[in-house]
Amino acid sequence: MNSLLEQIYTVGRVEDTEGNLIDPFPTATPLAIGNFLRETIQKYNLKNTLEIGMAYGLSSLFICQAHQDAGSGYHTAIDPKQTEKWKSIGLLNIKRANLENKLRFFEDRSDKILPQLFIQGEKIDFAFIDGNHLFDYTLVDFFYIDHLLSIGGYIAFDDIWMPSVRKVVSFVLRNRSYELIPVKIETKISTQLGIITKRFLQNPFEINDLKVKLIPNNVCLVKKISDDKRPWDFHRSF
């Protein structure tokens, strides 16, 4: 972890261009999730990564630092409100950490940028979906990321405490050639039980997403096994 990340998580503040200190939490990526991103990239030697939703740039810092430490790799971040909502703090943090050479940034909607990357024939090894969490927007993010993702690549979905995101993950696992990869994040047993209990209270009669409901943290990782080979009329309820 670089010195800027250490400072942010120690002080609990990020700094804007005018020197104002801002509390980025709970919006910003928790330390445990940031470490998970870094460790995933290192463990699987992932080179070309992509992120939907940058905000204060903490997840981008973890990913770009992982590439820097490996001596190779490149990260793409997409966030339509980096200037308007987040005061460009994400980009400023990347610059402060001297990681600009590891980042390509698009300030536009992901449903506009991802199709362009697909048309250009780009390929990625890993994606972190943490943008608009509405079901349809998250599903569209997955749809285009799947086209970009190499076989054997990984997608991490953040905020699976939200039923809309869990629904997308359930669709992916039941209808596409992806497998769920166990994620080890150190949390208290009481916290894990609280997370799972809350999900069952949100939609207690939904059983198709049971596998996702039982994940004891708020991020999940899936691996692409093969390209889409479904017959035209294939469908499994999700």
CA distance 62 to 4: 10
Across the chain, where does the E strand assignment appear?
A: 14-15, 21-22, 48-52, 74-78, 103-106, 124-129, 149-158, 178-181, 219-224
Inside any domain, residue 238? no
In whole numbers, what is the pLDDT of the chain averaged over residues? 95
Give yes or no for a contact between 168 and 140, defined as CB atoms under 8 angstroms apart: no
Inside any domain, residue 234? no
Output phi, psi for 76, to 5 deg.
-115, 130
Inside any domain, residue 45? yes
> pLDDT digits over 63-100, tens only?
999 999 999 999 999 999 999 999 999 999 999 999 99
Position 112 pLDDT exceeds 80: yes
Position 188 pLDDT exceeds 90: no
Inside any domain, residue 230? no
CA distance 159 to 166: 9
Q: Provide the residue range defining the domain that includes 178.
A: 3-224
Inside any domain, residue 233? no
Position 1 pLDDT exceeds 80: no
Tell me what pLDDT residue 209 has: 83
Q: Which of 17-26, 148-157, 208-217 has the highest average model confidence (pLDDT)? A: 148-157
Inside any domain, residue 39? yes
- Residue 147 in tokens: 């086209």
Q: Looking up tokens 């953040």, which residue turns up? A: 158
Q: In what order do the strands lie in the sheet containing 219-224?
A: 103-106, 74-78, 48-52, 124-129, 149-158, 219-224, 178-181
Inside any domain, residue 237? no
Tell me what pLDDT residue 192 has: 87
> pLDDT digits over 143-169, tens only?
999 999 999 999 999 999 999 999 999
Residues 6+ apart with CB under 8 A from 216: 187, 192, 195, 196
Q: Of residues 189 and 104, which shows the higher confidence score?
A: 104
Give yes or no for a contact between 173 and 222, defined as CB atoms under 8 angstroms apart: yes
Q: For residue 104, how far is the Cα from the chain centroid? A: 16
Across 188-237, where does the E strand assignment appear?
A: 219-224
**Domain CATH number, residue 126:** 3.40.50.150
Inside any domain, residue 89? yes
Tell me what pLDDT residue 152 has: 98
Provide mean pLDDT across the span 30-50: 96
Give yes or no for a contact between 230 and 175, defined as CB atoms under 8 angstroms apart: yes
CA distance 24 to 169: 27
Q: For residue 203, how far is the Cα from the chain centroid? A: 24
Number of domains in the chain: 1
